[in-house]
Amino acid sequence: MEDNKKRKLRYTERWFAYFDLLGFSNLVRTNEIHNVLPIYETALAAIEEKANPKRSKGLSYSWFSDTFIIFTRGSSLQEFAVIEQAARLFFQKLILNKIAVRGALSYGGLYTQQEKNIFLGEALMDAYEYGENQNWLNFIICPSAYNALEKFNFPMEERVHYRLVEQNGVITHSKNENVFAFAFNNGTVNFQNPFLSALTSMKEKSPKSVHKKYDNTIQFIESHA
């Protein structure tokens, strides 16, 4: 009875971020994975810093192959602030190190047994579906997270690092209302956007079949430069 109660308690409303690395299998096949692993370590170190229980109220993360997840213990606004910053910095580090990635942050029920790598629930499915249904490289706030933030009277419209996605063809999920994306608007030096430089370089080295993803991302940045 006690074990069942503990298991039940693990399913609760949480903030959840999902990341998918693009072209990962090709890195493995071409033996370039050894160039990527140090970058992983740097990016994960940034998450670990935020995951300090004294600072984050228990931010957790896990990863397998080309998939990374970050999630909170609860559903507070403070926990959103922590996971949003950790996830955004993780995304930024990968792009600036020219690692193709896309991600999404959602809100909803989540069941976890981290010691057994068991994760399931609506928060995971929502972030996964929005993460996979993006025809560009970006990190987005899902409508489920947007709606949860509205209940806190915390409008995404006022977040300086995000803006509403109005560009056609970049969010291919059937439900694409109130999706906010990272604006690539911090880190500018001498009027040069380092994200734009990294993405342009990545496109030049990528197969033509994925150039549209880079074009969509670059257009998003340049449209509000």
The model's pLDDT over 191-225, given as tens digits with 9 standing for 90+, comes to 689 999 999 999 998 999 999 999 999 999 998 76
Q: What is the mean pLDDT of residues 78-90?
A: 92
**Rounded Cα–Cα distance for residues 210 and 208 (Å):** 5
- Strand pairing of 139-141 and 101-113? parallel
Which domain covers residue 44, as residue numbers? 2-222
Q: Is 207 exposed, middle or buried (0-12, 13-18, 19+ CB in 10 A)?
A: exposed
Residue 145: give its domain's CATH number. Answer: 3.30.70.1230
148 neighbors 75 (Cβ within 8 angstroms): yes
**Rounded Cα–Cα distance for residues 122 and 74 (Å):** 14
- Residue 2: predicted pLDDT: 42
The contacts of residue 199 (CB under 8 Å, 6+ apart) are 95, 137, 214, 217, 218, 221
Task: State both tokens at 163.
Answer: 């803006």
Q: How confident is the model at residue 63 (pLDDT cuts 50, 70, 90)?
A: confident
pLDDT digits (tens, 9 = 90+) for 164-185: 999 999 999 877 789 999 999 8
The count of domains in the chain is 1
Q: Which of 45-59, 94-108, 116-130 has the lowest mean pLDDT?
A: 45-59
